[in-house]
């Protein structure tokens, strides 16, 4: 029942967001802008974007090495498969599938592996906060007031501007990621007190859930091992920053390929906000919120709606399609079965 509700909520959010994105748009002009893209620059941009995922595989190597020393080449297919399932299934299901497949194939604890993926997301969130702060300076250096009804939307009887929503999303995202980071840190450095604290909270739940918590907590904390070593933390932070820097550079190159003049500050703001936005409920791949906030920011900076929409559609396609294709290839080369993986994901979620 909960899954159905989540699906319908996500679908409604996606439809509402896309309605505002495409409302009043000139589709012929939109198509012509997309058609005029420089193919050679597009291919270079795609190569840089995909290379960023190999950087993430190197980062994952450092996160996992205290559990088992696996080379980035070994981890890359499972990482891509995880992101592929994130793109085609709701609720970040690919994180569970990546932990499951890696655990089975490499004979390591699935819960510890999943914990390393949580640490990945925490570091990603911290880098997003940094890029949001950098990008927010665009409001001071690039900002032009655009008086247009498309810049605001009504919610609960109140008018909200895109800039207001951007700020709220960034603040909410920052609070969430900092809280998760602090919890992970205390689980490592004050394990007994932190676990006892969670025991008190979890004791109100059914006995089966409490037993599962006791069973998994130690192996789960093992996945946070990187937080014990300052050097390893810095290495993980470096590769996180490098991966996202390559991504923001690919955003910038895509603008060049589409002959759209855009400052680095604005590109950083779009990347940070659009990635924060996909945390909201939606259909697979963050479709809807990504477009709504990406286009909304460009409208704030006086870009024509067709140009803004074309750019964000191409950017989101670059994020989703190559990884889906690569992920499908790796599923078959690794001898895996889609149906079994999705069923395993459901079983893992039900257990946890």
pLDDT tens digits for range 246-277: 999 999 999 999 999 999 999 999 999 888 87
Q: Does residue 245 lie in a domain region?
A: yes
Q: Does residue 295 lie in a domain region?
A: yes
Range of the domain at 314: 42-351
Task: Report pLDDT for 277.
Answer: 79
pLDDT tens digits for range 304-320: 999 999 999 999 999 99
Can you say how many angstroms the Cα of residue 3 is from the centroid of all Cα atoms in its chain?
A: 21
Residues in the chain: 352
Whether the model clears a pTM of 0.85, i.e. scores above it, the answer is no
Task: Report pLDDT for 344.
Answer: 66
The C-alpha R_g of the chain, in whole angstroms, comes to 21
Task: Report pLDDT for 3.
Answer: 59
- Three-state DSSP at 160 gives strand
Contact 124, 240 (CB under 8 A): yes
Q: Does residue 23 lie in a domain region?
A: no
Q: Does residue 313 lie in a domain region?
A: yes
d(CA 275, CA 146): 24
Question: Which two three-digit tokens encode residue 134?
Answer: 């950098």
Q: Does residue 301 lie in a domain region?
A: yes
Task: Report pLDDT for 146.
Answer: 45
Q: Does residue 27 lie in a domain region?
A: no
- Tell me, what DSSP letter sits at residue 270? H
Q: How many domains does the chain have?
A: 1
Task: Report pLDDT for 207.
Answer: 67
The DSSP bridge partners found for residue 154 are: 159
Q: Does residue 12 lie in a domain region?
A: no
The DSSP bridge partners found for residue 306 are: none
Q: Does residue 339 lie in a domain region?
A: yes
Chunked in runs of 10, what are the mean pLDDT values of the chain (352 residues)? 68 90 95 96 97 97 91 96 90 88 92 88 87 84 52 55 65 74 72 72 70 63 68 91 97 97 93 82 80 90 93 96 96 87 63 48
DSSP 207-257: HHHHHHHHHHHHHHHHTTGGGG-HHHHHHHHHHHHHHHHHHHHHHHHHHHH
């Amino acid at each position: 029942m909960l899954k159905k509700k989540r699906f319908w909520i996500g679908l409604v959010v996606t439809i509402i967001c896309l309605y505002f994105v495409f409302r009043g748009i000139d589709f012929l002009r939109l198509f012509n802008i997309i058609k005029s893209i420089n193919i050679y620059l597009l291919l270079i941009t795609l190569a840089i974007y995909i290379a960023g995922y190999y950087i993430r595989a190197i980062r994952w190597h450092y996160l996992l090495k205290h559990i088992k020393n696996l080379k980035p080449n070994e981890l890359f297919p499972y990482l891509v498969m995880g992101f592929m399932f994130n793109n085609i299934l709701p609720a970040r299901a690919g994180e569970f599938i990546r932990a499951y497949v890696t655990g089975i194939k490499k004979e390591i604890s699935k819960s510890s592996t999943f914990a390393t993926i949580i640490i990945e997301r925490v570091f990603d969130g911290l880098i997003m906060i940094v890029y949001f702060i950098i990008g927010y300076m665009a409001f001071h250096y690039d900002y032009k007031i655009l008086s247009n009804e498309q810049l605001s939307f009504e919610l609960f009887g109140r008018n909200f501007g895109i800039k207001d929503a951007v700020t709220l999303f960034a603040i909410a995202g920052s609070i969430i990621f900092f809280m998760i980071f602090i919890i992970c840190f205390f689980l490592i450095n004050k394990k007994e007190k932190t676990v006892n604290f969670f025991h008190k909270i979890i004791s109100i739940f059914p006995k089966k859930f409490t037993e599962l918590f006791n069973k998994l907590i130690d192996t789960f904390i093992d996945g946070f091992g990187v937080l014990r070593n300052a050097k390893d933390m810095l290495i993980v932070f470096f590769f996180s920053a490098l991966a996202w820097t390559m991504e923001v550079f690919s955003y910038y190159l895509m603008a060049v390929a589409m002959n759209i003049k855009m400052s680095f500050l604005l590109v950083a703001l779009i990347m940070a906000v659009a990635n924060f936005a996909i945390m909201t409920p939606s259909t697979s791949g963050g479709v809807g919120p990504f477009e709504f906030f990406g286009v909304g920011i460009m409208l704030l900076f006086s870009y024509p709606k067709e140009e803004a929409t074309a750019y964000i559609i191409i950017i989101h396609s670059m994020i989703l399609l190559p990884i889906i294709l690569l992920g499908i290839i790796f599923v078959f080369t690794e001898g895996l079965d889609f149906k079994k993986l999705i069923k395993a994901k459901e079983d893992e979620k039900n257990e946890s």
